[in-house]
Structure 1
Amino acid sequence: MRNNLLIFTLGFFIFPVLGWAQSAPDFKELLDSAMIRDSDLKMQTTQNKLTDLDEHKLKDIFLPTLEVSGQAGYLNATARLTSPEINLEPFIHIPQGSFNNNLNISGFSGIAKADAKMLLYSGGKVKYLKKAIQEKKMSEDILLEKTRDEVIANISKAYDQLALIHQSKKVLDESKKRLEINRKTADKALGYGLITPYDHKKIELAQAALNAKIVEYEGKKELLLTQLYIFTGIQRERLRMIEPVLRPVELLSPEKGIEQRAEIRALEHGITAADYKIKAEKTWKIPKVQLMASAYYIGLYGARVKTSENIIPAAPLIGYEGTKLDWRPTNINILPLITAGVGFKWDIFDGREGKHAEETARIGKEVLQNQKEDALKKLTLNLANNQTNYDIANAQIELKSKEKELAKNALVQAEKEFRYGMSKSSQLIEAESDLEAVELEYQNAVFNQRRAGIELMRSTQELDVAKLY
């Protein structure tokens, strides 16, 4: 009893999971998987992180910085001193410069320094650069829309190609069934002597040709499954279960204009960013203000301070021989030595470097404006071309639909005439081939109409998956 309950419980939880794993993925799942795996999209998203980093760097530019440095070493310094005039007559009289004295300081030195700086005012440059980066970021985000639309178009094309193969296979299967029925009729007619063996062989040849087409379409299907697997990473076993149907796309007139295209909107934000960049470069002539503070420590260890000559001259009259300096202090320290204040930097003349940077920013803006003008011309022509292609594709569907009806009626008539011995097998095979060709052309017309519809939606940045599937 417990074993049965355990089996029932496991089956209740496991079988739905297995069933889902073996279900055919819908278009949304294909698209979501492709968005995650698309290399161009990932590369563009990664590249955009550099702009985010630039934005963070600008935010942090007003943060204080603290730098600590130090050094230790051996100090040996000698200073030459020229004696001044000493007149203590009648005891001492030393004319100025009568002797030179070398003062030597040696020992192990240590120096430590801490510098703190904080930018108070950048002349407005940081403010404008921050706005320029924000505009650049919006431009890059908009271009991601264009890349996503390209992913949608690629997945949609592969999906529709799979649907075209699927529908074509159905057409070929129907032809195969009809030829099988007609072959049985031909077998009877051959037995009654109503047709020749040659006419009978023609039907067998038509069946062989049809089987070759089926093998060809199966190969194309495997190629498309491989393509979808590369795009999405979904296993072929699940992809093979997809049975899509081709349906024409019904579109109304575009609600937006070409101004809504990602390229145009991205360029507009780029031009705005260039305006801010020009304003930022103009600030070269405005003084920058900075808060600064420093703290020092200076130490001398194992020091010796000595002179080569007497620091107090000899006085023979009173029996004084003079004294040299030879001092050995334990250590000498200067702590703390602190400086703090506000400093400014004003580039009155910088060799026209600021002027050149400003002019470079202006030229960059002109380039973007020219690109926008060129893009508007090309996109206007592209919209007109895609609208024409869509109208032609709709007309082709209507034409192929009528041709299909005529071919069906012709095949019914040919089958009746062949059944009653009023026509040869060649006429029946011709009617069957005509219907097969027209039905395949109709499916191709639907496929082409869907491609034209997608490109028309992309012309005005109105690509909507809900209208496609």
Structure 2
Amino acid sequence: MRKISLLILLLTTYSEVFSQEAVPISKTDLESKVSDNNLQVKMAKKEAELAQAELLGTRAMYLPNVNASYTFSNTNNPLYAFGSKLNQARITAMDFNPDNLNNPKSISNFATKIEVQQPIINMDAVYQKKAGQVKVEALNIKTERTREYVQFELKKSYMMLQLAYKMLETLENAKQTTLANKKVIDNYYKNGMIQKSEVLYMDVRISEIESQIQTAKSNVKNASDYLYFLLNENSDNKVLKPTESLQYTEYIVDSNLRLNDHRKDLQAYQKSLEAYDWMIKSSKAKFLPKLNAFGSFEMYDNKVAQFNANGYLAGIQLSWNVFDGLKSKSEQEKYKAERSKAETEIEQYTKQSQLELSKANRQIEDAQTKVSFTKQAWEQSKEAYRIRKNRYDQGLEKSADLLSAETLMSQKELEYQQAVFEYNVAGEYQQFLKK
């Protein structure tokens, strides 16, 4: 019953995986895919768009501020009553009577007012705008670096998909080899030439390979789903299949390779320092004179929607912020401290990046050595299996020894494919780090 249940489970899973549509994809197709659809790239772009939206607020440094209002009031306050009547151009000689001045009747006032404030020179706002522009530039550069990272991740995931299919192919070939050997062993057993235990050994090996094949199929689907995730595409009932097989690619190793100072992430960090410089200048500029113009046009009447009297006011104001309770000074110190912190973080990040680049070079060398050794071991295991197979066919080897040789050969082939994958990934990572 356990065997039957296992068989049903394997058949069900096989049906689920391979009833899906196989979508072929090449490395060229992948490179032509628009990486802007990637969610990580989208988030970086939205961050830059947010900074651009914040930058729009600096337009207030040169655009006028215009307000319009319509106000109704009713008062018997002597001062406001006389002023309202004066604004309405309804003052007569009788209004100067002391009794009327001291005890006026209540008066209604409808006032329409348009106010305009026009900035002329505000250096602190000018420097704030400069800081905002630099911030936008930094985030745009960061977006470009994010796009480069996603492109590297796409290449890595594509190679992971190639490896998954290669391992599945290797295990399928191992299964065919084992089934061919099983036919020979079954014939030997029928003729009484071997014991039942040797047939059971072969059955165990086939079950082991079936289990590995099932895991390999799951790895194929996992790698395909991850690629779809990076591309931000729907993976329902679809599985990607690479048109090229996993191949060893030669990468140049330079132990003296130095970090590129113009790498986009480093450029973005330097831009952040520039933004802090502008913010410090903005804080200092708050003590500089500010020149602003202002004006208003007013219309008054004691009846609604009537505008029988009007007047205007216009002027220019030159002002200084002589002392603000050390608020601006504290702001300067804050920006200086943040800049110093950012400078230290950049130094640390730069040194870590150089270490990462050197490490990547060593990883390529180590992976290259591993490829050589695993390839040699694979070739030797194939030769060992060939020799044991010939001796087994001549009745000079046990089936257990043949199974051991076949298992070792399959294992070494898988190790070789894994080593090629690790080498190619290390090479692509080095290319990403040195851009």
TM tier relative to shorter chain = 0.7 to 0.9
Is residue 2:159 matched to residue 1:160?
yes
* Corresponding residue number in structure 1 for 2:6: none
Greater percentage in strand: 1
Is residue 2:420 matched to residue 1:443?
no
Conserved? CA contact 1:132–1:276, under 8 Å: yes
Conserved? CA contact 2:66–2:114, under 8 Å: yes
> 2:386 is matched with which residue: 412, 418, 421?
412
Counterpart AA for 1:367 = K
* Corresponding residue number in structure 1 for 2:339: 365
Query: Identity over the aligned pairs, expressed in percent?
Result: 21
Conserved? CA contact 1:66–1:115, under 8 Å: yes
* Corresponding residue number in structure 2 for 1:106: 106
Pairing 1:45-124 to 2, within 5 Å after superposition: 45-78=45-78, 102-122=102-122, 124=123
Deviation track 1:309-348 (CA, whole Å, cap 9, x = no partner) reads: xxxxxxxxxxxxxxxxxxxxxx99532x112221111112
Conserved? CA contact 1:171–1:440, under 8 Å: yes
* Corresponding residue number in structure 1 for 2:181: 182
> 2:365 is matched with which residue: 383, 386, 391?
391
Q: Distance in 1 between matches of 2:101 and 2:154?
A: 92
Deviation track 1:383-403 (CA, whole Å, cap 9, x = no partner) reads: 222211111011100111111
Conserved? CA contact 1:111–1:297, under 8 Å: yes
* Corresponding residue number in structure 2 for 1:291: 293
| Secondary structure of the structure 1 residue equivalent to 2:77 | strand
Counterpart AA for 1:64 = P
* Corresponding residue number in structure 2 for 1:317: none
> 2:313 is matched with which residue: 339, 352, 368?
339
Deviation track 1:74-94 (CA, whole Å, cap 9, x = no partner) reads: 232347xxxxxxxxxxxxxxx
| Secondary structure of the structure 1 residue equivalent to 2:397 | coil
Q: Distance in 2 between matches of 1:282 and 1:190?
A: 96
Q: Distance in 2 between matches of 1:345 and 1:103?
A: 41
Conserved? CA contact 1:160–1:244, under 8 Å: no
* Corresponding residue number in structure 2 for 1:245: 245
Deviation track 1:172-213 (CA, whole Å, cap 9, x = no partner) reads: 122122223222332343455443333233223322222222
* Corresponding residue number in structure 2 for 1:89: none
* Corresponding residue number in structure 2 for 1:125: 124
Q: Distance in 2 between matches of 1:156 and 1:24?
A: 16
Q: Distance in 2 between matches of 1:121 and 1:397?
A: 68
* Corresponding residue number in structure 2 for 1:144: 143
Counterpart AA for 2:163 = L
Stretch moving more, 190-199 or 382-391: 190-199
Residues 35 and 440 of structure 1: CA distance in aligned 2, closer, same or farther (over 3 Å): same
Deviation track 1:33-71 (CA, whole Å, cap 9, x = no partner) reads: 683443333223222222112322223431122211221
* Corresponding residue number in structure 1 for 2:87: none
Conserved? CA contact 1:162–1:244, under 8 Å: no
Q: Distance in 2 between matches of 1:109 and 1:223?
A: 76
Counterpart AA for 1:413 = I
| Secondary structure of the structure 2 residue equivalent to 1:239 | strand
Counterpart AA for 2:404 = E
Residues 114 and 142 of structure 1: CA distance in aligned 2, closer, same or farther (over 3 Å): same
Deviation track 1:13-52 (CA, whole Å, cap 9, x = no partner) reads: xxxxxxxx97523345556768344333322322222211
Structure 2 unaligned blocks of 5 or more:
1-20, 80-98
CA RMSD of aligned residues (A): 2.9
Pairing 1:14-25 to 2, within 5 Å after superposition: 24-25=24-25
Conserved? CA contact 1:34–1:231, under 8 Å: no
- After TM superposition, give the deviation of residue 444 of structure 1 in Å: 0.8
Q: Distance in 1 between matches of 2:393 and 2:253?
A: 51
Deviation track 1:265-317 (CA, whole Å, cap 9, x = no partner) reads: 21111111111211121111211111212112232359xxxxxxxxxxxxxxx
Pairing 1:198-237 to 2, within 5 Å after superposition: 198-232=197-231, 233-237=233-237
Conserved? CA contact 1:111–1:296, under 8 Å: yes
> 1:271 is matched with which residue: 270, 273, 287?
273
- Scaled by the length of structure 1, the TM-score of the pair is 0.76
Counterpart AA for 1:160 = M
- Scaled by the length of structure 2, the TM-score of the pair is 0.81
Conserved? CA contact 1:400–1:445, under 8 Å: yes
Deviation track 1:217-271 (CA, whole Å, cap 9, x = no partner) reads: 2233233333334443244555344455222342224676253443322111111
| Secondary structure of the structure 1 residue equivalent to 2:274 | helix
What is the number of residues matched between the two proteins? Answer: 393
Counterpart AA for 1:152 = Q
* Corresponding residue number in structure 2 for 1:350: 324
Counterpart AA for 2:309 = I
Q: Distance in 1 between matches of 2:299 and 2:100?
A: 33
* Corresponding residue number in structure 2 for 1:466: none
Q: Distance in 2 between matches of 1:247 and 1:120?
A: 66
Deviation track 1:343-388 (CA, whole Å, cap 9, x = no partner) reads: 1111122222222222222112111111111112222222222211
* Corresponding residue number in structure 1 for 2:9: none
Q: Distance in 1 between matches of 2:327 and 2:419?
A: 62
Q: Distance in 1 between matches of 2:124 and 2:274?
A: 16
Q: Distance in 1 between matches of 2:331 and 2:31?
A: 45
Is residue 2:148 matched to residue 1:173?
no
Conserved? CA contact 2:47–2:139, under 8 Å: no
Q: Distance in 2 between matches of 1:288 and 1:358?
A: 19
**Looking at CA atoms only, which structure, 1 or 2, has the larger radius of gyration?**
1
